[in-house]
Amino acid sequence: MELYVLLLFWGMPIVLGFVFGQIAEKRHYRSIHAREKALLHLPTTSGKLPIMGGAPVRCELVTGSVVVSVDHFKRAAAALRAFVGGQVKSYESLLDRAKREAVLRLKESCSGAHEIVNLRLETVPLSKSTQGGIGAVEVLAFGTAIYVA
């Protein structure tokens, strides 16, 4: 009996994480693809020199950020993976989503710009505050938006 209770206690979050996490991930990727297509007109570079030409009249520091956390299924999968080593696919997709989301938010905040130069991405792990706390990361994208006449 105790075993079942224990199993339920540890198993439920993992199952819930798997089901809802998968649904949320699919939905998020759909939205990312659609918005990336819509923002293709805004070229972005990680270099410091403008690539589009034109006489700039105004510039603006722009940022976009997102905080994501890992669901229990992914955490369990990563813990298992740590036994044998190798790539942890479940975390890869999470961080990929976070980075693309941050860049999309940055672009959406200045959709009238001509181009964005010196795009930088920073990933900051937020502290595991309380016991069993949140293993969350913040992804911050920042760059300079250039407007031309």
List residues near other proteins by CB under 8 A.
13, 16-17, 20-21, 24-25, 28, 48, 50, 55-61, 63, 65-74, 94, 101, 117-118, 120, 122, 124-127, 129-130, 133-134, 136, 138, 140, 142-144, 146
Residue 58: partners with Cβ closer than 8 Å, 6 or more residues away: 146, 147
Q: Which is nearer to other proteins, 86 or 132 (CB)?
A: 132
Q: Can you list the pairs that 124-130 forms with residues at least 24 positions away whose Cβ atoms lie under 8 Å?
A: 126/67
- CA 70 to centroid of chain Cα atoms: 11
Find the shortest distance in angstroms from Cβ 139 to other proteins: 10
Q: Which is nearer to other proteins, 1 or 30 (CB)?
A: 30
Find the shortest distance in angstroms from Cβ 30 to other proteins: 14
Tally of CB atoms within 10 A around 135: 14
